[in-house]
Structure 1
Amino acid sequence: MSCTGKLEICAVTRENKTIISNCYYEGALKVSRPIYLEEHTPNLYLIYIGGGYVDGDMYVTTLRLEEEAELIVTTQSSTKVYKTPVHPVLQRTHIELKKGSVLEYLPDPLICFEGSRFSQETIVHLDEDACFMLSDIITPGWAEDGSLFYYDWIRSKLKIFKYDRLVVYDHLWLQPDGEMDGILQLDGYTHIGTFLVIHNSVDQLFLDRVYEEIEMFHEDVRFGVSLLPVNGFIFRVLANRTPIIEQIIAHIHLFARQSLLGKNGAILRKY
């Protein structure tokens, strides 16, 4: 099957600074020039040049960080998936993090409109001392009167390997069936967010501190946070509005950056 968009990026360190050593893209996917909002760590903005994902689209992204490289990757805007009457949209992301590398992968929310079907798979290979941060927000589309458009289904798989051994497998399957916010689906909510961190310093004590950070929010949300089989945690939150989820995830991301990387908050400057 041919790709609608393909993107490959490799980052290396040179004189204690991360640079992009290889960048290839074709089709509907492009990437910005590296922007150094931090002295040694570039920001990259993934760019989709079409108006939205449509029936039968397939996108493949590969990110490779060599030893000690550090990179922040986000998107230029939210990903919009429109009606897919014949074939679902497929999105595949392959990530390889060598020893001591740090990747913060923070795409904007995924917005799926009425009649859409979307399948994404993210496969991550970690070496020793690598750090990985990932955010993922899913929201339904909306009509002019403010009502929600319920997509047909969304399937999201995350597989993380360390030393070629599968250590994390997360499979999220959402199929509204007219009652997406019903019990045993999203339990009264319509939006879902995930934030994952893998770092050698994450333990139960760190998880307790994360929980204390989250407790300061009093919005109408439901959340859970758990340790992973490796040194890391996963946070998941249910809400009825995207900005609430973005605000909470941004707060946890800031806390993780300060506590684990000794850095201030990432300034993405998209607008």
Structure 2
Amino acid sequence: MSWSGLLQCTAMEKNGRTVISDSYYEGAMKMIRPIYLHPSQPTIYLIHVGGGYVDGDRYKTEIMLQEGAHLIATTQSATKIYKTIKEPVQQYTLFSLDDQSVLEFFPDPVIAYEKAQFYQETTVYMKESSTFIYGDIITPGWSESGELFRYDWFRSKLKLYYEGNLLLFDHLYLEPSTGLTGILRMEGYTHFGSLFVISPFITKDILQKFERMAASFPASAHLGWSTPIIPGLIVRVLAYETYVIETIFQMIHQFIREECLREEPVFLRKY
């Protein structure tokens, strides 16, 4: 199977520090040298060199963390999905987390422009002792008419295998032609964000602290949260602007790093 872009990366713990032990990329996908925003935890930036995703593009990313590795990942810029005439754009991402590893992944928003069709599938394999933190934001792109939600459809699936068992399956499907702005849909909001934290550190005490902290989130957003059957936290955010969701995600990310990982916060945005 041919890919418009392919990226593979493996992180390992070595002498108390996480290093990238192996990496490979081809096509439109690239990865810059790791930046150590934290002395022992590398941050990698995933780059799409084509400027945007177009008709029929297929992308695959695989990131593997060996035992004890701690990796932070983000993207260089937003994922822009342009008009798709014949075939939808497809993006597949695979994460594999070994024992006591930690992955923090906060890509820039996905922007779906007029007539865009986008399928995204994220698969996670993790151990009971590992930690997975992932934030995803979807925004409507510019259209010639000036109207919002001019993309055809957006589908995103997250499958999380916990100790080999599929214990979390999240499926988001947005199709503006079916009345996206109504009740039990976007309800007048324009931007949507999902944040997943699956970790043995998410305890009842942490959840109570999070509930108190949630009172300080921007009032312009509408937020809800729940807990899966495994130790974790799932947060959904509706807002009118991207930076509002990013602000909330940054607050939650900082909270998790401080309260669960006992680490100082990191700032991943480029602007």
Same fold by TM-score, threshold 0.5 exceeded? yes
1:55 alignment counterpart: 55
Query: What displacement does 1:26 show?
Result: 0.4
CA gap of 1:265–1:147, structure 2 versus 1, over 3 A, is farther
Q: Report the counterpart of residue 41 of structure 2 in structure 1.
A: 41
Aligned amino acid, residue 123 of structure 2: I
Say if 1:149 and 1:128 are closer, same or farther in 2 by CA, change over 3 A.
closer
Q: Does residue 233 of the first structure (1) align with residue 233 of the second (2)?
A: yes
Asked if residue 223 in structure 1 is aligned to residue 232 in structure 2, the reply is: no
Cα distance in 2 between the residues matched to 1:160 and 1:218: 30
Letter in 2 for 1:134: Y
Q: CA deviation at 1:150?
A: 2.1
Shift, 1:199, TM fit? 1.2
**Partners in 2 of 1:104 and 1:32 — Cα distance?**
17
Structure 1 residue runs of 5 or longer lacking an equivalent are none
Q: Which residue number in structure 2 is paired with residue 136 of structure 1?
A: 136
CA contact (8 A) 1:222 1:238 kept: yes
Kept after mapping to 2: 8 A contact 1:207/1:226: no
Which whole-Å CA distance do the structure 2 matches of 1:211 and 1:80 have between them?
34
Please show how residues 106-117 of structure 1 align to structure 2 within 5 Å.
106-117=106-117
2:201 is aligned to 201
Residues 97, 130 of structure 1: 8 Å contact kept = yes
Report the RMSD for the aligned CA atoms in angstroms.
1.5
Q: Which residue of 2 aligns with 1:158?
A: 158
Q: Which residue of 2 aligns with 1:99?
A: 99
1:219 deviation in Å? 2.3
Does the 8 Å CA contact 1:71/1:104 hold for their aligned counterparts?
yes
State whether structure 2 residue 69 is matched by structure 1 residue 64.
no
Counterpart residue number, 2:119:
119
Rounded Cα–Cα distance in structure 2 between residues aligned with 1:247 and 1:137:
12
Q: Name the amino acid aligned to 2:249.
A: I
Match of 1:90 in 2: 90
* Distance in 1, Cα, partners of 2:268 & 2:138: 20
* AA at the equivalent of 1:73: A
Deviation per residue, 1:237-260 (Å, 9 max, x gap): 111111111111110110011001
Q: Write out per-residue CA displacement over residues 53-93 of structure 1, whole angstroms, 9 at most, x where no aligned residue.
A: 00000000000000000000000011000000110000000
Matched, 1:250 2:250: yes
TM-score (norm 2): 0.96
1:173 corresponds to = 173
Give the secondary structure class of the aligned counterpart of 2:260.
Answer: helix
Contact map agreement 2:128 2:200 (CA 8 A) in 1: no
* Shift of residue 204, structure 1, vs aligned partner: 3.1
